[in-house]
């Protein structure tokens, strides 16, 4: 993305990816992957191609922002697809079912009130052990685009400062507290919990998440025990279709 028109389209694609979470947006560096550009008949950059069910249905050459946006809108309105909604977040789904519970863990948990409790429908909860801090390592069965998290906790024991680290299953307490920069920091309040406990994230930073490390630094009451009664992940699953399966579209024009 070195040429000015390519940078313009790159910015636009990032914006559209946030506005249309149920659409898969993919970027290909034709210098690194010439075989892909050859198969898709890309002869000029930037080129935006639109695919439905593996077949190219339209394309735009050049940094034509209005035309690209118009075609995305038109294709999304085809068949009047129903918009997803999870915990009040329109356009996204509850992805908690994609959590690999056996590959996920929580450090400093009370073994009598473990991580598994946040994924049940009963009144059980996850609680910290020797102090208020918790460090959760959550693995997903496939890559996801994470838009928001939903947290519930009992009263003053509910989490207050939450640091999120995308794809950092190796992170420890020292790194989480003082060292590694967080992908996003959430500051929960009593008002936020009253409104459902949903915290929006900087979506562009969570576009290909295979795992999520969650560091809870403290709780609303600044007590020794932090508790989480429910935790959910809101976003869309990443389409893992192989680009080699894309059927060749119409042959493009030359420069």
Per-position pLDDT tens, the chain of length 255: 568 889 899 888 888 877 776 678 888 888 888 888 888 888 888 999 988 777 888 899 898 999 998 888 887 765 444 456 788 887 788 999 999 999 999 999 999 999 999 999 888 999 999 999 999 999 999 999 999 999 999 999 999 999 999 999 999 999 998 878 999 999 999 999 999 999 999 988 999 999 999 999 999 999 999 999 999 999 988 865 444 444 444 333 333
Identify the pLDDT of residue 81. 46
Q: CA-to-CA distance for 2 and 29, rounded, in angstroms?
A: 10
Q: CA-to-CA distance for 199 and 233, rounded, in angstroms?
A: 10
> Helix or strand or coil: residue 177?
helix
Q: CA-to-CA distance for 27 and 40, rounded, in angstroms?
A: 13
Identify the pLDDT of residue 180. 84
DSSP structural state of residue 22: T
Identify the pLDDT of residue 51. 86
Whole-number Cα distances in Å, 68 to 58, 60, 61, 133, 192: 10, 7, 9, 46, 37
pTM, rounded to two decimals: 0.66
Q: CA-to-CA distance for 250 and 40, rounded, in angstroms?
A: 8
**For the purposes of burial, counting CB atoms within 10 Å of the CB of 232, is it exposed (0-12), middle (13-18) or buried (19 or more)?**
buried
Query: Active-site residues: which are they?
Result: 3, 6
Cis omega (within 30 of 0) for bond into 233: no
Q: Which domains does the chain have, with CATH numbers?
A: 4-80 (3.40.30.10), 89-237 (2.60.120.470)
Q: CA-to-CA distance for 242 and 43, rounded, in angstroms?
A: 21
Identify the pLDDT of residue 55. 83
* H or E segment and range at residue 106: strand 105-107
Identify the pLDDT of residue 239. 66
């Amino acid at each position: 993305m070195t040429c000015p028109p390519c940078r313009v389209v790159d910015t636009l694609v990032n914006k559209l990816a946030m506005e249309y979470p149920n659409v898969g947006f993919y970027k290909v560096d034709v210098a690194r992957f010439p075989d892909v550009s050859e198969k898709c008949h890309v002869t000029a950059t930037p080129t935006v191609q639109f695919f439905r069910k593996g077949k190219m249905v339209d394309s735009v050459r050049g940094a034509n922002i209005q035309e690209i946006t118009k075609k995305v809108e038109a294709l999304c309105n085809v068949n009047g697809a129903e918009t997803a909604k999870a915990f009040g977040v329109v356009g996204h789904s509850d992805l908690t079912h994609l959590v690999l519970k056996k590959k996920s863990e929580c450090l400093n948990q009370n073994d009598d009130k473990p991580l598994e409790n946040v994924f049940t429908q009963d009144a059980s909860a996850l609680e910290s052990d020797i102090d208020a801090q918790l460090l959760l390592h959550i693995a997903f069965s496939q890559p996801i685009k994470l838009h928001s998290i939903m947290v519930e906790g009992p009263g003053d024991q509910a989490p207050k400062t939450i640091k999120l680290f995308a794809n950092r299953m190796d992170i420890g307490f020292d790194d989480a507290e003082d060292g590694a920069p967080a992908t996003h920091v959430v500051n929960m309040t009593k008002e936020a919990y009253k409104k459902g406990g949903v915290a929006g994230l900087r979506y562009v930073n969570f576009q290909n998440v295979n795992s999520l490390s969650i560091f809870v630094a403290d709780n609303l009451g600044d007590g020794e025990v932090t508790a989480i009664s429910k935790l959910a992940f809101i976003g869309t699953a990443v389409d893992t279709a192989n680009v080699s399966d894309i059927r060749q579209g119409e042959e493009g024009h030359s420069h």
